[in-house]
Structure 1
C-alpha cells in the first residue's frame, strides 16, 4: 500500500518539473497520473479473480516484479508518450498486488478485533506512502541532479523491497476451495477493454474535444463492452446456480457474480458507490491543491511538500483511531464523518483567500482531507471482506479498489472540465482569448478555475456523505467487539463456504465424465 500511494504522490509533486523538462502542456499533465490509475483500476478484477483461483502470493510476487521493472524503465524515459505508456504498465503491477494483499490479510486474520487492526494497518500504508512520496519526491525533484527521474528510482527501490519481503514473509498459497477453477477469459476481456476505453475517454475527452470522432466512438464501444460483460456474467451465474446445469467448457464460473452487488440488501453496491465518489473528491483535491501551490503561488516542490505534510500525520492518526473504534462505532457514522471532512477540505480551498496565511486555509484542509479516504478505505475493506465468501476475498477487494481507481480518473476528468471551462470563460471576459488550461491565462481567471474545481470536490464529498447516511443505516458495527460475535460469524462464513463448494461440486459431477 505504501508503494501504491507513493507512486501517485511522488509523481504528482514532480509533475510541474516533468512538464517543463519534457514540454508537456498543463492540460495533459494529468496523464502520468491518469495512466497509472487507468491500468491499475481496469485490471483489478482480472487479477483479483486470478489471485483467488491460483494463489494470492503468486500474484502478489508477479505484481511486485512488474512494478520494479517498469518503475526502473520510467527513470530513463525521454518523452511524454513513453512516460504515459510505462505508467500504464506500472499500474498493472499495482492491479496485481493490492487485491491479492487484501485476500492474504482476510485469510490470515479471521473476523476478530485483530482483523480490524490488520486492515487499519494496511490502510495506514496510504498516508505513510503519501508522506514518503511527497517528502522524498519533493526533495529528490528539487535537489537531485536527476530531478523528477529520481522519483521513479525511489519507486524501483520500494517495489524491489516488496518483492523480496513478500518472498520471505508471506505464507505459501493454499489450494482454492472452488471445485471449478476455470477462468472466465471472455468476461475478463470485456470488462478490461470496456473500462480502459471509458477511462481513456474520461481522461482525453476534454483535451481533444468531446465531439472528436474517436472519442465518441471509443465511448460507445466501451459502454457496449461493459453492458455485454454484465449480461455475460449474469448468464454464467444463472448457469452455475441451475440445479439442472450440464458441465460445459463454454460456461466457466463468472469472473464477477452480479449478485454480489445486491448483498447486504444492496449495501455492498452503496459502499462501492461511496468509495467511487470519495476518491473522486480526495484525489482531485490533492491534484488541484498541488498545482495551485506550484503553478499559481509559484512555490518550489519542497515548499509544496511541507504544506501537504500535515495530511500524512493526520492519516496515520485516522487509521490508529479506526483500528480501535471499528468494533464500537457503526459503519454509517464512521463513513459519514470521514466523507464530510474530505468535502470540507475542498470547501476551504473553494473559499480560499490568497492573501491569508497558510494556517487559515491550507493547514486545516490538509489535516481533514484524509479523513474520508482513510475511514472509507479501512471500514470499506472490512465490510466487503465480511460480505464476501472466503474464496471471493481478493475479488471483493478488487471490486472496491476498482471503484476507487475509476473514481480517481472520473474526478480528475470532471474537475479538469470545470477548470478549463471557467478559465476560458473568465479569460475571455478579461479580454484574453486563450485555450483552456493555458498557463498564460490571467491570474484572476486561473484562481477562479482552481476554486471551481474545488467546488466540484465539495459536491463529490458531500454527495458521498448523503449516500452513506441514507443507504448504510442499519449496517451496525463492522468490527468485532466480542468473542461470541466473532465465533458466530466464523461459523456462518464456514457454512457459506461449505454450501458453495457443495453446490459447485454437485454441478460439476452431474455434467462431467
Structure 2
C-alpha cells in the first residue's frame, strides 16, 4: 500500500489572541517567535480544501517536483539569456545599448504583476491559475525565437514574464495549503526554495552548453519543452478544489463575475504601475544617466504610488465586509515578518549580483567562451542539489536563526572572494570554486527558510499572495541592487578611463580598469549580504525551529518529540 501523507490537523491557539485580519497567532508588537505563527485552518477543521484526500508518497514527490519546476524555469529564463545576449543581438541587429531589454522585459512584467496574480489565484483557485500561467509561459517561450525583429522579440519576453508571474507565486500557495505542518512540508519547501537559485545557476550552465554546440534559439526551445511538461504535470497532479471553478461551472453559475468583484483592481493598478515605473527607471538609469530628469521624476512618481497603495490597502482592511485588499498591511506590524521581507530583498540582490559579476569576470574580463564560463559555474549546480537535500533534513532540527546566519554569511563571503585582490593567475580551484560553492550553499539555505516562514505566517486563503509578496520583494531587491552595483562599476570604469559615464564602454579583456570595477562592485555585493546577516541577528535572535514537527496527541496527553522522531 502506498505511503500517504496524513490529513492536516489544525493548530489550536492557546492563550494568544488571534489577529482578526490575518488569522495568524502573533502579537503586533513583534515579540512573539515564529513558533506562535501558523497557517490558519478553515472552520470545518481542514487545512484547506485542496487536501480533501491523502496524497500518496509518489504523487506528493511528483507534485513538489512540478511546482519546484515553476521556480526553477523562472530564474533560469532570466539567467540563461545573459550568456547568449551577443548572439541574439547579432541575429536581430540589436545595438549593445539595448541588449539589456531582452533581460529587463521579462523581469519587468514578472516583478510588476506578481501581487495582482497572487490575489487572483487566491480568489479564482490556485490550480487553475497555475496551469493557465504555465501554458502561457509555454506558448510565449516557444514563439519568442521566431520573432523577426527587436520590438516583437522584447514584447514576447514581456509576455513570458507575465505568465511566470501567474504560476510562480501560485506554486508556493499550492504547497502551503496542500501539505500540513510536518516532515513532508519541510521537504516540500526545501525543494521549492532550492528551485529558484538552482535555476539561476543552471541557466548559465545549460545556456553555455547549447550556445557552444547549437543555435541560441534552442535555449528557448529547451525552456518551452520544460514549461510544457510542467503544464501537463500540473494538470495531472495538482489536487482539484471546489474553489477553483471549471469553465462550465463559471458559465452556468456566473461565478466568474462574482469573483472578479472580489479582486482589488484599484490596488492592483496602483502597485503594478508603481513597480513598472520604478523598474523602468532603475533599468534605464545606468543607460541614459542618473542625472536625466525623467529618471528621477519617474522614481518619485513610483514612490508616491506605493504610498497611495499602502493607504488604500489599509482602508480596505478596515472594512471587513468589503472587498479584500491585495495585501493585509497589518501583517507588517510583526517585526519578524517585516524583517523577512528586508532580508529577502538584500539576500537576493547579493546573490544575483554575484552571478552577474562572476559572469562578467570570466566571460568578459578573462575572455572565456560560453562553455569555459559554464564549467566555472558547474560546482554551484552539483553542490546545490546536495545542499537542498541537507536543508530539508535540517529545517526541523536546527534553529532557523542559525541557518539564516549561515546562509547570508556564505553568500557574503562568495562576493568577498571576488572583491579582494587575488591574482588572476591563481588557480580556479584555490578560490573561484569555493566562491561558487559558498554562493549556492547560502542561496539554498536562505531561500527555503524565508519562503517557509512567509507561508507559515499567513492564513490558507492568502498563500498565493504570500508567495507573490516574497517573490516581488526579491525582484525589487534584485533590480535595486543590480542598478546600484552597475552604477558603482560604471563610475569606477569612467574614473579609471578618464571618460564620462555615458562613454565608458563595456568590460574589456584583461583590462585593469575593468577588473577594478568588478572588484569594487563586489565589495558592494558583500556589504548588502552582511547587512542581511545583521538583520537576521537582530530580528531572529530568539527564533525557534520553524520546521519543527509537532508532537502528536495521545490518550494521555502529548508524546515527547523524540518518540515521534524515533517512530518516523
TM-score (norm 1): 0.87
In structure 2, the partner of 1:471 is: 539
CA gap of 1:332–1:388, structure 2 versus 1, over 3 A, is same
Please name the residue that 2:61 is paired with.
none
Which of 133, 139, 152 is the matching residue for 2:220?
152
Q: Aligned with 1:483: secondary structure?
A: coil
1:275 to 332, 344, 351: 344
* d(CA) in 2 for partners of 1:301, 1:202: 28
Question: What secondary structure is seen at the aligned counterpart in 2 of 1:75?
Answer: helix
Which residue matches 1:480?
548
Q: Select which of 254, 259, 262 maps to 2:333.
A: 262
Q: Distance in 1 between matches of 2:355 and 2:152?
A: 25
Offset of residue 150 of structure 1: 1.6
Other-structure match for 1:307: 376
2:292 maps to which residue?
212
Shift of 1:214: 2.4
Q: Give deviations 1:335-379, integer Å, cap 9, x for gaps.
A: 111111101111111123212111122111110112232212111
In structure 2, the partner of 1:7 is: 77
Higher mean alpha-carbon deviation, 216-225 vs 455-464, is at 216-225
Alpha carbons of structure 1 residues 79 and 347: separation in structure 2 relative to 1, 3 Å: farther
> More helix per residue: 1 or 2?
1
1:93–1:434: structure 2 CA closer, same or farther, 3 Å change rule?
Answer: closer
Contact residue 365 and residue 509 of structure 2 kept, 8 A: no
Question: 2:84 aligns to what SS in structure 1?
Answer: helix
Give the superposition deviation at 1:237.
Answer: 0.8
- CA shift for structure 1 position 23: 5.3
How far 1:123 sits from its partner (Å)? 2.2
| Deviation string, structure 1 residues 247-293 (Cα, Å, up to 9, x no partner) | 6xxx5111111112123xx1101001100000101111101111221
- What does residue 498 of structure 1 align with? none
| Counterpart in the other structure of 1:295 | 364
Residue 223 in structure 1 maps to residue 294 in structure 2: no
1:187 CA displacement: 0.2
Residue by residue over 1:176-204, the C-alpha shift from the partner in whole angstroms, topping out at 9 and shown as x without a partner, is: 8xx99711110000001101111111111
Does the 8 Å contact 1:40/1:92 carry over to 2?
A: yes
Aligned positions of 1:18-57 closer than 5 A: 18-22=88-92, 24=94, 28-57=98-127
> Per-residue deviation at 1:124?
3.0
Cα distance between partner residues in 2 of 1:447 and 1:26: 20
> What pairs up with 1:80-229 in 2 under 5 angstroms?
80-130=150-200, 132-144=202-214, 146=215, 148-175=216-243, 182-229=262-309
Rounded Cα–Cα distance in structure 1 between residues aligned with 2:547 and 2:295: 45
Report the Cα distance in structure 2 between the residues aligned to 1:21 and 1:299, rounded to whole angstroms.
Answer: 21
Measured after TM superposition, the shift of residue 19 of structure 1 is 4.0
Paired with 1:363 and 1:25, the residues of 2 have a C-alpha distance of: 34
For residues 80 and 361 of structure 1, what CA distance do their matches in structure 2 show?
Answer: 39
* 2:519 corresponding residue in structure 1: 451
**Residues 77, 83 of structure 1: 8 Å contact kept:** yes
The structure-2 alpha-carbon separation of the partners of 1:226 and 1:432, relative to structure 1 and needing over 3 Å to count, comes to closer
- Gapped regions of structure 2 (runs ≥ 5): 1-70, 245-257, 558-568
Deviation at 1:153, TM superposition (A): 1.2
CA distance in 2, matches of 1:257, 1:140: 44
Following the alignment from structure 2 to structure 1, what is the Cα–Cα distance between the partners of residues 502 and 272?
A: 37
CA deviations 1:303-333 (Å, max 9, x no partner) are 1011101011221222111101111111111
Query: 2:458 is matched with which residue: 388, 395, 400?
Result: 388
466-475 vs 31-40, which moves further = 31-40
> CA–CA distance in 2 between the matches of 1:422 and 1:361?
24
Residue 344 (1) aligns with residue 413 (2): yes
CA gap of 1:439–1:335, structure 2 versus 1, over 3 A, is closer
In structure 1, the partner of 2:28 is none
- Asked whether the 8 Å contact 2:451–2:470 carries over to 1, the reply is yes
Contact 1:279 1:408 in 2 (8 A): yes
What is the CA distance between 1:438 and its match in structure 2? 3.2
Query: What are the superposed Cα offsets for residues 211-248 of structure 1, whole Å, 9 maximum, x if unpaired?
Result: 323223322221121111001001111122xxxxxx6x
Which residue is 2:560 aligned to? none
CA distance in 2, matches of 1:112, 1:221: 45
Distance 1:82 1:236, change over 3 A: same
Q: Structure 1 residues 451 and 375, CA, compared in 2 at 3 Å: closer, same or farther? A: same
Measured at CA, do residues 24 and 333 of structure 1 come closer, stay the same or move farther in structure 2, by a change above 3 Å?
A: farther
Q: Which runs of 5+ in 1 are unaligned?
A: 241-246, 489-513
Aligned to 1:462: 530
Compared CA separation, residues 27 and 464, structure 1 to 2 (3 A): farther
Q: CA deviation at 1:37?
A: 2.1
